[in-house]
Amino acid sequence: MFPIPHFDSLDRAHLSSAFPRIEEIARQFAAQVHAPGLAYGVVVEGHLITSGAAGLQNIAPRTPASPTSVFRIASMSKSFTAMAIVKLRDDGQLQLDQPAQHYVPELSALRYPTRDSAPITVRHLLTMGAGFPQDDPWADRQLGLPEPDFTALLGEGISFSNPPGWKYEYSNYGYAILGRIIT
């Protein structure tokens, strides 16, 4: 959406003259896309050189957004989860075709839908092919679930809509398990 800037000079004093324009761009963008609020930061050579916000962090009490506001990003977190899994793979910490129970022992007690079901692999979880039913409302109800409660939930078993590896079916639960693998 915005071009990646190129700086011939990293004179921070010179860059600071652009900060008011950056703030204006953020406010215009929020209005253009009808975003209730946003927070932004500008990083140069690994250092945060300015940050700001526009709009509201919370609509109901009309809490203004600030540079430290935390916004729920919903399924966008799946991209970060996938990136972390691939980074672990690249670092030799895990294998995508390894059964997920190797990393999450609670999965070893799963009762699969058929006697000849393949075990769920990390790759199945990444590609929404673990065989779990679509569970969109699940994520909202489980957002703040403490780690011991998630462990108990895993131990209770997981329902399947089809055997692992047979078809794509969107699953928040699968990505929650990937989060456990990363942990």
The residues annotated as belonging to the active site are: 75
Residue 116 tokens read as: 């000849």
Question: Cα angle vertex 110, ends 106, 113, to 5°?
Answer: 160
The H-or-E segment that residue 175 falls in is helix 172-182
DSSP E strands, the chain: 37-44, 47-58, 63-64
Rounded Cα distance, 42 and 50, in Å: 5
Rounded Cα distance, 144 and 26, in Å: 30
Residue 78 tokens read as: 């799946």
Q: Say if CB 54 and CB 27 are below 8 A apart.
A: yes
Rounded Cα distance, 164 and 181, in Å: 18
> DSSP code of 165?
T
